[in-house]
Structure 1
Amino acid sequence: MPLSASPTLSVDTLLGPGGALQVALPAYEHRPEQLQMARAVERAFAERSYLLAEAGTGTGKTLAYLVPALLAGRRVVVSTATKTLQDQIFFKDLPLLREKMGLTFEAAYLKGRNNYLCLHRYAAFAQDPQFGSREESRYWPKLKAWAEDTQTGDRSELDLPESFSAWPRLSTTSETCVGTRCPLYETCFVTRMRKRAESADLLVVNHHLFFADLSLRSSGKRTEGVLPYYEAVIFDEAHALEDAASGHFGVGVSNYRLEELARDAVASLKEDDSRHAMLRALSARLRTGADAFFAQAPRALGLSGHESSVALQAEAMGKLSSALGGVREGLAALSAFTAGEREPELAAITRRADELEEQLSFLEKAESSDHVYWAEQRGKGLFLRASPIDVAKELRERMYGALDTVVYTSATLAADSRFDFFARRMGLYGEDGQPVTRVRTLAVPSPFDYPSQAALYLPTHLPDPSAPGFIEAAAEEIIRLCEVSGGRAFVLFTSLRNMVRAYELAAGRLPYQALLQGERPKAQLLEAFRDTPSVLFAAHSFWEGVDVPGDALSLVIIDRLPFASPGDPLVAARIKQLQMRGEEPFEQYQLPQAALALRQGFGRLIRTQSDKGIVAMLDRRIRTKAYGQVFLDSLPDARRVDDLVELSRWFNGPVRPLRALRPVD
């Protein structure tokens, strides 16, 4: 790692006025905010301290942390929430630093195991390829040719449907991989990836991989993760860390996971092996027990519909004790039969069966006061889950003791101009309220001129979001707003139900292409949106991590303030925990969380210094409730408008009459 040895290289000589970046890119304008952040990151590495850095959109924060990280002379992990940013860092920003600025370093791009072809599983699958449909089978010739030629094994090289059902049988997870006992371990794509990572100065990963690796290492059961030893971590898009961490520090059992175990058990031995018939019988026994349990579970647990969740209570699990016993017996029999066998596949079956039995017991008792338990139904999948209510303790115990340098950065870290909310959620304060390590904070504003580039439309004539007729009135407003902007709009919803209903009401009346989240893969929706003036109705995944600069996106409409549903089991448990501590959950958790989420939605609009556009908030509570001021204070200083004619004049110049509307069916 030679960079730190050169006295001529520093964040100032690289990013400062007249520095290497400005020389390499003549059109580039020096950004004081970028240099300010880079110096703060440089100081964190020098002091071996923690930094919370909020950097507004357009600051250039990626280079602001990459440059000091590469100069630090230490192996650094950069973790992101989205694949989009991961790709940008590895394929755009790092080549710029290497090719245009003369920096010498090695970098590695790492994904979860399930993104890579497993050579061992592929060999078994190829002997008898089975597909979920005739349509899927048509990909087999292309997949075979790719498997014989690929140098990385990365699924992203293939144009496979996201729902390609055969992929789980062609890849592994940390649970299903047999590790060093695999006969193809040395040629394995994941092994090769890890070896490249061991010689790299910088590792580019995502939050899910980072915490999957951390939870494996800190569980005490297994020591080999995907990531090699590292000395510092930079979390970009750090606002998404809590959800990513809570998922990996918990446990989960599903019908899919049990079915996969039964299927893998059968496939672990060839049919001419004398043990195969017994293994097939034991797998069938496990399937029978699992099918009986998951058939009874929805009614017993109180689940309703294919997209629902409910808190998991020990009493409800008690109603399923007989069916659960059948699953346990199936797991125990499978484990007993495969225990002590030499084949790595059979050893893995033993381990997986034991882990599932242990996790089922933990879920059945539902007695840990530190965890929230819930059941969730999604389509054909039924999931029993338990997660830590508060990841703060987990992070203190699993991560902070081993790392002296951590940088958290995002465009949205501060709530009500303070970092306290994020710092407490991340465990940077102990239970006594004192910092657990040296923590510095920095907030650098966006260089964008929001008063001239953005308007915030705040109507008060719409019904309250909880009142009957809200979504019908909102659909009318959406149509009028799209007339102002000429389409080119994201319409963001806090619920799938409202998203679908608004689309049904408005899509047929819009003279623009109307797109609906879920109808196509996300990448295809964005491509269609950029190609043709469109109106995209979306929720959840489009609130953040989506970058559409330029005229293609000129309007962002938000249906209601993004308060997390108190009916969500994890949210409800966090509220209850705060109440038990004597704290006020609305002011200390629900409100700051929603304010940060709204800032993320707002951030989809202005992405460059030449962008101009409108953010429309259809929830009147931002103007009529006292807490609405917290939301307004958290947003950029855009021009505020409450009249459509004035809004059209600001956006389009001279007033033009709005198109007459047909009544809603």
Structure 2
Amino acid sequence: MAQLADAAVSESPSVADLLATAVEALGGSEREGQQDMATAVERALRTGEHLAVQAGTGTGKSLAYLVPAIRHALEADQAVVVSTATIALQAQLVDRDLPRLTKALQPVMGREPTFAILKGRGNYLCRHKIESGAQAEDPGDDQLFDPFQVSALGRQVTRLHEWAEQTKTGDRDELVPGVPDRAWRQVSVTARECLGASRCPVAEDCFSELARHKAGRSDVVVTNHALLAIDAIEGRAVLPEHDVVVVDEAHNLVDRVTSVATGELTSSGAAAAARRCAKLVDQALSDQLLDAAEGLDTVLTDAPVGRWESMPETVGRMLSSIRNAAWACKQALGPEREKGTKENDADAAARRFATALVEEVHDVAGRLLAAFDREDPATRPDVVWQSERELNSTAVRTLHVAPLSVAGLLAARLFGQSTVVLTSATLVLGGSFDALARQWGLPASGSETTPKELPPDDGGGHGNDPATNLVWHGLDVGSPFAHAKAGILYVARHLPPPGRDGLSPAMLDEIDGLVRAAGGRALGLFSSMRAAKQAAEDLRGRWDGTVLCQGDDATNTLVQKFAAETGSVLFGTISLWQGVDVPGESLQLVMIDRIPFPRPDDPLVAARQRAVDARGGNGFLTVSATHAALLLAQGAGRLLRGTGDKGVVAILDSRVATKQYGGFLRGSLPPFWSTQDPKIVRGALERLRDAD
């Protein structure tokens, strides 16, 4: 079979020829990095070996993986899944790249390749829920809301019902402007709540099912990391059958998978499940669950906020009561009724909603209890902590349970089942792919290669058997930017290390001096909103230019204003580190206030560091420094977005120059020319400013 498939592929145009056709049709130009990446991806799809590719901004990586992926899909007659982390990239692929690419390839491929986008069921309107009038049970329904909030929710739901009559896809992302989650829950269902195509009376018109059917007939299916995790890790077959997965924005994969694998439990959530069951089971059973939920609320008040080393005895007893009561309710609700039974549609939906809620409460409570079965915390599969937030002047406490690591899950259920290509502009940290490879569950094999060093294809199909060692290669195809000529990396070694009391006067002076030298044109990336606002307020008091700060308006609006008004300044926090694309003279200075280490009190980070230390490794470098290096590289990547861009990345945290881990951080950044002399930097910025 492998020989037949190879023979069929050899009769098709080569990837190099297809890429040339695509580039010409799309009005682009040939790029060496793009060609190297396409060749490496094509090889991975033939051998089954996994591939990690770092491709800098401007490489054209989307075409570099889409062209060989489409060729493979048509020859193998099987879908290729492309997973992204952001809605923006999904939109770019589905609305711009794929429509033009498939038309360009049609004449040489014999037919026009097909593509579709697929999201989780909760992203689509549920026609049955709308038509049956069923309402979502919100965990916050037992809180008090003022009349304005209630009427606002009603207006939003009314708007959603009107939109349901017009939309062709039911896709939440197509609703502009959007609505809060609380309103959306009134017209959508989770996968657990869904009646299923065989039971739902409007299944033929179901937006989610229509999207899945379209995906099942497509050559390329674009999805997100969360749905990929659900399909691979939770074992739910939500994606069409496939043998290849392309993970774009792969630097975000572990965080997104961890989020999907994290469970949460609140007393109000357990109470909501009890209320859902009240009319469907014996009242004594639902009352048991409601009583247990109220008891949990009481004992959590006395339990510590933060990570738990052991389960408080009172909480353990109450969680056992919740787990047992939820199971009793689930058993009483019984199995799903077959289509055509006497139960009407509304009752079937109510039963399904109730079952979904009690199943989730039961499963999370059981997982919380099992998390402490092992005596050594470093070997426990899950981490447990309690958080607290204010809602309508009331403290809401939530229990969280998250996997200590997702590496094993990814190794067995993603890399062990499909050929995987991972790509991003930021995958090499400290000069190696190994830091991220370990998090993905791939061996830190030191298998980074150049295009010419890729081993010959032996036709082996390695990497698809979870019982064998996973074989992978890392490839850095570089960037079209001449970083050393176009950019300067400035580390302000003379500044005092950042403290806990906000930005120091010396740092505020430094920001003012850099902004003045650049004539604005600056993006300030801060580790907290407090710091961003402090810097913005201080600069407004010193400088006459336009200072924009995240929170003053919608982030997208602020970015558009910043790009349109040359000489303005934009300060903000985490979403700007990865989400700003402003080529040209509007952005010539990127300032970073401090190394973006995760919070030291982050429960999951602390547990992961301790586990690495327990195995004899360096937990700080493996977890916190890797996290910081990834964000630093993403932040520095905001500077050069077009081939004509020039400027400075200024890191105002002296620890990058003075601490031992600074070398690892600097080795994760683009290869800019570097200096620690503020006079040199200000002079360069002034020359750039005066040249425009």
TM class, shorter-length: 0.7 to 0.9
> Does structure 2 conserve the Cα–Cα contact (< 8 Å) formed by 1:255 and 1:294?
yes
Q: Which amino acid aligns with 2:93?
A: I
Secondary structure at 2:385's aligned position in 1? Answer: strand
Deviates more, 1:360-369 or 1:601-610: 360-369
Q: What displacement does 1:81 show?
A: 1.2
Match of 1:306 in 2: none
* Among candidates 120, 126, 129, match of residue 112 of structure 1: 120
What do the CA deviations read for 1:26-52 (whole angstroms, capped 9, x no partner)?
Answer: 4x3210110001000000011121111
> Does structure 1 conserve the Cα–Cα contact (< 8 Å) formed by 2:597 and 2:628?
yes
Change in CA separation of 1:496 and 1:281 when aligned onto 2, cut-off 3 Å: farther
Distance 2:413 2:689 in 1: 59
Change in CA separation of 1:561 and 1:162 when aligned onto 2, cut-off 3 Å: farther
Give the TM-score, by structure 1 length: 0.85
* Among candidates 485, 494, 509, match of residue 527 of structure 2: 494
Change in CA separation of 1:161 and 1:291 when aligned onto 2, cut-off 3 Å: farther
Change in CA separation of 1:521 and 1:106 when aligned onto 2, cut-off 3 Å: same
> Does structure 2 conserve the Cα–Cα contact (< 8 Å) formed by 1:471 and 1:498?
no
> Does structure 2 conserve the Cα–Cα contact (< 8 Å) formed by 1:125 and 1:170?
no
Match of 2:103 in 1: 99
> Does structure 2 conserve the Cα–Cα contact (< 8 Å) formed by 1:54 and 1:442?
yes
Q: Which amino acid aligns with 1:154?
A: D
Match of 1:569 in 2: 603
Give the count of matched residue pairs: 626
Computed over aligned residues only, the root mean square deviation of the Cα atoms, in angstroms, reads 3.3
Deviates more, 1:256-265 or 1:355-364: 256-265
* Among candidates 290, 293, 299, match of residue 290 of structure 1: 293
Change in CA separation of 1:131 and 1:287 when aligned onto 2, cut-off 3 Å: farther
Distance 1:216 1:176 in 2: 16
Q: What displacement does 1:162 show?
A: 4.9
Match of 1:417 in 2: 431
Match of 1:270 in 2: none
Matched, 1:387 2:402: yes
Distance 2:61 2:86 in 1: 16
> Does structure 1 conserve the Cα–Cα contact (< 8 Å) formed by 2:55 and 2:425?
yes
Change in CA separation of 1:537 and 1:291 when aligned onto 2, cut-off 3 Å: farther
Q: What displacement does 1:108 show?
A: 0.8
Change in CA separation of 1:302 and 1:78 when aligned onto 2, cut-off 3 Å: same
Q: Which amino acid aligns with 2:223?
A: V
Distance 1:594 1:609 in 2: 27
Q: Which amino acid aligns with 1:419?
A: F
Unaligned runs of 5+ in 2: 138-146, 338-347, 374-379, 448-466
Unaligned runs of 5+ in 1: 218-222, 267-274, 304-309, 657-665
Q: What displacement does 1:478 show?
A: 2.5
* Among candidates 581, 584, 592, match of residue 550 of structure 1: 584
Matched, 1:366 2:378: no
Matched, 1:23 2:24: yes
> Does structure 2 conserve the Cα–Cα contact (< 8 Å) formed by 1:472 and 1:505?
no
Distance 1:67 1:311 in 2: 46
Match of 1:179 in 2: 196
Match of 2:355 in 1: 350
Match of 1:442 in 2: 475
Matched, 1:650 2:684: yes
Matched, 1:248 2:251: no
Q: Which amino acid aligns with 2:194?
A: C
Matched, 1:82 2:86: yes
Distance 1:128 1:409 in 2: 39
Secondary structure at 2:190's aligned position in 1? Answer: coil
Q: How does 1:146-545 map to 2 (within 5 A)?
A: 146-163=163-180, 165-180=182-197, 181-217=199-235, 223=236, 225-254=237-266, 257-258=269-270, 261=273, 265=277, 275=279, 286=289, 289-290=292-293, 293-294=296-297, 296-297=299-300, 299-303=301-305, 310-316=306-312, 318-321=313-316, 324=319, 327-328=322-323, 331-332=326-327, 334-340=329-335, 342=337, 343=348, 345-368=350-373, 369-380=380-391, 382-403=397-418, 405-429=419-443, 436-466=469-499, 470-507=503-540, 509-518=542-551, 520-532=553-565, 534-545=568-579
Match of 2:454 in 1: none
Q: What displacement does 1:639 show?
A: 3.0
Q: What displacement does 1:592 show?
A: 3.5
Deviates more, 1:85-94 or 1:374-383: 374-383
Q: Which amino acid aligns with 2:24?
A: V
Change in CA separation of 1:141 and 1:510 when aligned onto 2, cut-off 3 Å: farther
Q: Which amino acid aligns with 2:525?
A: L
Distance 1:435 1:55 in 2: 29
Q: Which amino acid aligns with 2:54?
A: E
Match of 1:121 in 2: 129
> Does structure 2 conserve the Cα–Cα contact (< 8 Å) formed by 1:471 and 1:502?
no
Change in CA separation of 1:136 and 1:467 when aligned onto 2, cut-off 3 Å: closer
Distance 1:145 1:543 in 2: 37
Distance 1:280 1:437 in 2: 53
Change in CA separation of 1:466 and 1:244 when aligned onto 2, cut-off 3 Å: same
Q: Which amino acid aligns with 1:70?
A: I
Give the TM-score, by structure 2 length: 0.82
Q: What displacement does 1:199 show?
A: 0.4
> Does structure 1 conserve the Cα–Cα contact (< 8 Å) formed by 2:299 and 2:314?
no
> Does structure 2 conserve the Cα–Cα contact (< 8 Å) formed by 1:22 and 1:30?
yes
Deviates more, 1:122-131 or 1:85-94: 122-131
Q: What displacement does 1:327 show?
A: 4.3
Q: Which amino acid aligns with 1:563?
A: F
Q: What displacement does 1:422 show?
A: 1.7
Distance 2:189 2:579 in 1: 27
Match of 1:35 in 2: 35
What do the CA deviations read for 1:559-614 (whole angstroms, capped 9, x no partner)?
Answer: 11122233211111111111211122234443334222211111112111022222
Secondary structure at 1:544's aligned position in 2? Answer: helix
Q: Which amino acid aligns with 2:398?
A: F
Secondary structure at 2:182's aligned position in 1? Answer: coil
Change in CA separation of 1:162 and 1:77 when aligned onto 2, cut-off 3 Å: same
What do the CA deviations read for 1:471-518 (whole angstroms, capped 9, x no partner)?
Answer: 443333333322233334332222344334434444555534444445
Match of 1:661 in 2: none
Distance 1:503 1:571 in 2: 30
Secondary structure at 1:166's aligned position in 2? Answer: helix
